[in-house]
Structure 1
Amino acid sequence: MPVLTSGQQERKSKQRKIRNSEYYDMEGTFDRLYAESKKDKTFNHLMEIIESEENIKLAYRTIKKNTGSDTSGVDKRTIADLAKLSEEEYVRLIRKQFSNYHPRPVRRVEIPKPNGKTRPLGIPTIVDRIVQQCILQVMEPICEAKFSENSNGFRPNRSAETAIAQCMRLIQVQHLYHVVDLDIKGFFDNISHTKLIRQIWALGIRDKKLLCIIKEMLKAPVVLPNGEKTYPTRGTPQGGLCGSPHNPPYAKRVIMPSQWQNTA
C-alpha cells in the first residue's frame, strides 16, 4: 500500500467529510449557513441543527473514521464501546448530553516534538468528542464565511498546496520575496475565554445555549499525567473543539481579526 504524504492525507480526509455530509443530507444545511453568514446574518437557533439526528450521525461517523477514535479519555472508553450501541441508542445518548452539558475532565498527555521538547495534548472522552464534533460541523460553515482568504491551515478545501499557490502569486504579481516564520508562544494556553466568546458572538453566533455549552467546554477540568486535576481559567486544550490536529483551530482563527489579511 503506498504511503500518503501529509498533504494527500489531509485531502483524503476532507473528501471523506464531504462524502459523509452528502450521505447524511447535511450538505445543503451547511451551504445555507455559509451563505447566510456571508450576508452577516445572526444565528440564534443553532442548537436545533446541532441536536438533529442527521448531524449527530454525521459527527459519530466522522469521529469513528478518525485514527484518534481508538484513544480513550479519562473514562477509558473508545469508539469501540459506542459501536456496541444501535444508531437510536447513541443518538439518544448524545442528545442527552446537550440537555445539561457538563464535560468530563480532559486527559492531558505530553507529545514529543522534533526538537526534543514536548507539547501538551488534551484528550476528551469519546462522548465529549462527538458532542464537540456536532458543534464543529455547524460552526464551521458560519466561521468559514468570515475567515481570511489568506489563511489555509486546517480548513476545508485548503492545504499546503493552496498556501504555496498564494505565495507564488505574491512573488509573481506583487514581487514580494521575503517569508517570516513565526509562532505565538503559548497561544492555546493563554486564550482569554471571555474574549473568545465575545469574538464568537461578533461572528453572528448568538445561540445562548450553544455559547453556554462552549463555556463549559473551555472550563472542563484537566487531568495531568501525574493524576493532578486542574481547573483552567484561560486557554484551550489542544485536541478539543477550539484547537486540534485534525480540526480547524477555531480559537486562533476567531481571535485573529480578518482585517489583518490586507496588512503587509
Structure 2
Amino acid sequence: MHDTEKSDSGIVAEKPTNKAGLLAAEWAEPRPGTKGNAEQQRMHRTQGRARMTQSLDRVRTAARLRKKDRFTALFHHINVDTLRAAFFALRRKAAPGVDGMTWEDYEEDLEPRLADLHKRVQRGAYRPQPSRRTYIPKADGKQRPLAIAALEDKIVQGANRHRAQRHLRRRLLWLFLRFRPGRGPHDALDALCTAIETRNVNWIIDADIQNFFGAVSQPWLVRFLEHRIGDKRIIRLIQKWLKAGVFSKTAS
C-alpha cells in the first residue's frame, strides 16, 4: 500500500509520472467579424492562460519530486481555462462531426458554451457523440477509415490529452516519435540514420499492426492507463469515449 499526500496543486498522489510543460498549441487571435467583445475574449484567454500555466507548473513540480506516483485528483484540472485552450488548439477548417458544428459557429458564443460544457463534464452529464466515419484513399488504392469526433468531444479530449501529456511525457522513450508534440517523420528518419551510422545494424524491420485501433483490447488499454492515472473520474471519461462508437452513413 502506497502512502498518499496532497500537494498545493490539489493532487493526491501515490507515485507521480511526468514533467509538465506549457501547452504546445498557441492561442489564436479571434477572427475578424467575430460576434461579441474581442477585447474581453483576449482578456479571458490571457487570464486563463496564466492560471493554467501556474497549475501546470505545480503539477510538473509534484511529478518531478515523486516520479512513480499515480495521480488521483486530476479531474478538477478540466476547467473552463483548459477547455478554452483546447478549443483554440483545434484546426479552424476541420470537417465537422455528427453534430455538424464548425469551429466558427462554436466561437460565436464561446464563453457561454464552454461554461455549459464544463458544468456537464463536472456533474457527469457530458455524453460523447458517436464519431462520424469517413474514408481517405491510400497509396495502394485502398481506403483508410477515419473517425471524426463532434466538436465538443474534441474540446474535452484535447483538455484531457494536454493534461495527460504533462504526466506521461517523461515516461515515453525518446524514440517514440509518432503522434508526439513537435515530432514527425523527419525526426524518425534522423534517428534511423544516426542508428545506422553509429551502431552495428544488420536488420531493419518495417512492421504494421493491421487495424490496431479497431482491434486493441479496451479493458487492457484502461488497465495500462490505471498504472499512472488513479483518478476514477478521468478513467470513466476515457471509457465513455471508447464506448461512443462511430456513425457510418449508408448510401440510400
Per the TM superposition, whether the score is higher than 0.5 is yes
Measure, in 1, the Cα distance between the counterparts of 2:84 and 2:246: 28
Please tell me the residue identity of whatever aligns with 2:73. H
For residue 138 of structure 1, what is the aligned residue in structure 2? 163
Name the SS for the 2:108 alignment partner.
coil
Give the C-alpha shift of residue 103 in structure 1: 0.8
Give the C-alpha shift of residue 199 in structure 1: 0.4
For residue 71 of structure 2, what is the aligned residue in structure 1? 43
TM-score by length of 1: 0.70
Is residue 2:233 matched to residue 1:209?
A: yes
Change in CA separation of 1:131 and 1:16 when aligned onto 2, cut-off 3 Å: closer
The 8 Å contact of residues 103 and 216 in structure 1, kept in 2 or not, is answered as: yes
The 8 Å contact of residues 31 and 141 in structure 1, kept in 2 or not, is answered as: no
Measure, in 2, the Cα distance between the counterparts of 1:176 and 1:135: 39
Change in CA separation of 1:86 and 1:157 when aligned onto 2, cut-off 3 Å: closer
- Structure 2 residue corresponding to 1:174, chosen from 199, 217, 220: 199
Measure, in 1, the Cα distance between the counterparts of 2:60 and 2:205: 32
- Structure 1 residue corresponding to 2:24, chosen from 6, 9, 17: 17
For residue 117 of structure 2, what is the aligned residue in structure 1? 94
For residue 35 of structure 2, what is the aligned residue in structure 1? none
The 8 Å contact of residues 101 and 216 in structure 1, kept in 2 or not, is answered as: no
Compare CA radii of gyration and give the structure with the larger one. 2
The 8 Å contact of residues 72 and 125 in structure 1, kept in 2 or not, is answered as: yes
Name the SS for the 1:17 alignment partner.
coil
Gapped regions of structure 2 (runs ≥ 5): 1-21, 29-44
Change in CA separation of 1:225 and 1:110 when aligned onto 2, cut-off 3 Å: farther
Is residue 2:224 matched to residue 1:224?
A: no
Is residue 2:87 matched to residue 1:60?
A: yes
For residue 137 of structure 2, what is the aligned residue in structure 1? 112
Change in CA separation of 1:114 and 1:28 when aligned onto 2, cut-off 3 Å: farther
TM-score by length of 2: 0.73
Please tell me the residue identity of whatever aligns with 1:201. E
The 8 Å contact of residues 96 and 148 in structure 2, kept in 1 or not, is answered as: yes
Change in CA separation of 1:28 and 1:176 when aligned onto 2, cut-off 3 Å: farther
- Structure 2 residue corresponding to 1:191, chosen from 199, 216, 227: 216
The 8 Å contact of residues 106 and 223 in structure 1, kept in 2 or not, is answered as: yes
For residue 102 of structure 2, what is the aligned residue in structure 1? 78
Tell me the alpha carbon deviations over residues 10-30 of structure 1, each in whole angstroms, 9 at most, x when there is no partner.
Answer: xxxxx9935449961334544
Query: What fraction of aligned residue pairs are identical, expressed as a percent?
Result: 26
Name the SS for the 2:154 alignment partner.
helix
Give the C-alpha shift of residue 114 in structure 1: 1.5
Measure, in 1, the Cα distance between the counterparts of 2:127 and 2:87: 19
Q: Which moved more, 1:192-201 or 1:21-30?
A: 21-30
Aligned CA RMSD, in angstroms, stands at 2.6
